[in-house]
Amino acid sequence: MDKQFPVGRFDLDIQLRDEALNERNIPAMRMVANASIGVDPLDAYYSVRELREAISEVFEGAPGAKKRLAAVLSTKCDDYQRCLYYALAGRGIVQMLEVFDWLLEILGTRAVISADMRRAKNFPAPLVNPYVSAEPDGLLVSASADFQEGPSWYLDPDLGGIVED
């Protein structure tokens, strides 16, 4: 027997809220989950994917990668990508990339659910955008590709490096 009953509007942020509170997640995971609550599902997914790709390319030494990362972090849009980058900066490149992979999986599923619901005209609960402005709030990162990666890019203990005081 397929009985239907009203359950209210679906909260697209429910998994992000759960992950942000999950004590088994490392603090970096909880931080980026919190930072993603309320961000439009497609915008969040593609923003994280773009940022993750740029960081990975810099790590791999790809031509033009530093220019791409500098462009991402200096874009005159809301501060979501900068928020994520600086939440993880200095924690080691391996952890940064692993956390972004973890977040992308969550955000990808969230984007698919959102799109499926909208196609079915079953709109989810409204998201409250955490950003009060579509423009940056404060100083922007330099768009110069002439930046030097710090020790977290090459002395990461997960890469066998030794970080000393």
**E strand or H helix at 51:** helix 41-60
Residues 6+ apart with CB under 8 A from 34: 16, 20
Q: Is the pLDDT of residue 53 over 80?
A: yes
Model pLDDT, residue 146: 82
The domain containing residue 72 runs over which residues?
A: 14-125+138-159
Model pLDDT, residue 162: 59
Region 14-22: mean pLDDT is 97
Model pLDDT, residue 75: 87
pLDDT range class, residue 51, cuts 50, 70, 90: very high
Q: Is 94 helix (H, G, I), strand (E, B) or coil?
A: helix
| Residue 144 tokens, joined | 């110069």
Is residue 8 situated within a structural domain?
A: no
Residues present in the chain in total: 165
Average pLDDT, the chain: 88
Is residue 131 situated within a structural domain?
A: no
Is residue 9 situated within a structural domain?
A: no
Is residue 7 situated within a structural domain?
A: no
Q: What is the pLDDT of residues 76-120, one digit of tens each?
A: 888 899 999 999 998 889 999 999 999 999 999 999 999 998 898
Q: What is the pLDDT of residues 116-165, one digit of tens each?
A: 988 988 888 888 888 777 777 777 777 788 887 777 777 666 676 655 54
**E strand or H helix at 157:** none
Please report the beta strands in 14-76, taking only residues with DSSP state E, as ranges in sequence order: none
Rounded CA-CA distance 119/97 in Å is 32
Domain count, the chain: 1
**Whole-prediction pTM value?**
0.84
Model pLDDT, residue 10: 86
Is residue 6 situated within a structural domain?
A: no
